[in-house]
Amino acid sequence: MTVALVTGGAGFIGSHLVDALLAENISVRVVDNYSTGRPENLAHVSGKVEIIEADIAKSGSWQKSFQGADWVFHLGALADIVPSIQRPEDYFLANVNGTFNVLEAAKHAGVKRFVYAASSSCYGIPDSYPTAETAEIRPQYPYALTKRLGEELVMHWAQVYQLPAVALRLFNVYGPRSRTSGTYGAVFGVFLAQKLAGKPFTVVGDGTQTRDFTYVTDVANAFLTAAQSSARAEIFNVGSGQTISVNRLVELLVGEVTHIPKRPGEPDCTFADISKIRRELKWQPKVNIEKGVEQVLANIDYWKSAPVWTPASIATATQDWFKYLGSDDK
């Protein structure tokens, strides 16, 4: 039986990947410190998964759990923009040092496949859409930079140590179990908590900006497909094949709207060119935005404990965003 180890397996994407692996009768180990993941995300597979609670930023006995693993999926990371601006050291330790520690454990264990969750935030504000893997790298904030540095480590270990590794640059992932922490972050979580509370959706700018919203089960399937492939030292975009406006998202979610100021360092569009992963891995997204939103609304109670953001609380939470990213040359 194939043995897979998932760092960050109690997180949003990680827990869906665990589901996908179990559906293929693959034995699963999870390494997570619950900094962003939640035990509840794996409650439904209790007893079917081995869970090692550990912080990958620090070397330790958790690295022994890589022995005997065939596949490693490295999703463990700190996310979100504003906290990365406020606490860059934490992000560097988790996303760069953590990736180094995971790579070393995988190398010493002689794993057969290594798949890294990279971020499309590395593109910053691209020159062209849809954006291909060959686009210039322009991280705009420490989260994007640390995820990019992690990606560089992965590619270097593939080059120097022949680690059979690939990286997947993920675009705007959404779906059930997305984080409901106290941090102001991804638009879906913000809007869903507002909908539950009967509050207006806080739309940034005029809402015409578009996003490549990619449903989480499609992303989990991309990780599985990458592990089953023979690709090495390759980077692949993972997106939905389309881009929709925030205004269209509001139409699908149904609710009142209030507008808040546009933020520096954010692109007007995210749109993945997925021709490479389609061609080389034969992977295709299956869930369109209408179906995805339907699934999210069917699970909306998941967000009942999430903070309900208002224009005033968002203004306070994003002060450092404007302070550090708001210079004229951005």
Q: Mapping DSSP to helix (H, G, I), strand (E, B) and coil, where does residue 1 land?
A: coil
Listed residue (105, 108, 107) closest to 29, CA to CA: 105
Same domain, 124 and 205: no
What does pTM read for this prediction?
0.96
**19 and 167: one domain?**
yes
pLDDT digits (tens, 9 = 90+) for 167-187: 999 999 999 998 766 566 678
Do 200 and 194 contact (CB within 8 A), yes or no? yes
Supply the pLDDT for residue 179: 76
Q: Considering the chain, what is the average pLDDT of its residues? A: 94
The pLDDT assigned to 3 comes to 98
Residue 177 to residue 203: CA distance in whole angstroms: 22
Scanning the chain, the segments in alpha helix (DSSP H) are: 12-23, 81-86, 88-92, 98-109, 142-160, 187-196, 216-228, 246-253, 275-281, 289-298, 311-317, 319-325
**Are 42 and 55 in the same domain?**
yes
Same domain, 246 and 143: no
18 and 68 together in one domain:
yes
Distance CA 67, CA 37 (A): 23
CATH number at residue 145: 3.40.50.720
Residues 87 and 219 in one domain: yes
125/150 same-domain check: yes
CATH code, 207: 3.90.25.10
Lowest mean pLDDT among 58-72, 100-114, 253-267: 253-267
Q: Which residue has the tokens 């578009």?
A: 210
Examine the domain organization and report whether 157 and 258 are in the same domain. no
- 323 within some domain: no
* Domain shared by 88 and 128, yes or no: yes
pLDDT value at residue 182: 58
**What's the structural domain count of the chain?**
2
Whether 149 maps to a domain, the answer reads: yes
Q: Is residue 325 part of a domain?
A: no
Which position among 116, 143, 174, 215 bears the catalytic label? 143
Do residues 253 and 232 share a domain?
no
Note the pLDDT of residue 183.
60
Task: Give the structural domain span for 197.
Answer: 175-212+241-270+287-317
Based on the residue annotation, tell me whether 116 is a catalytic residue of this protein. Answer: no
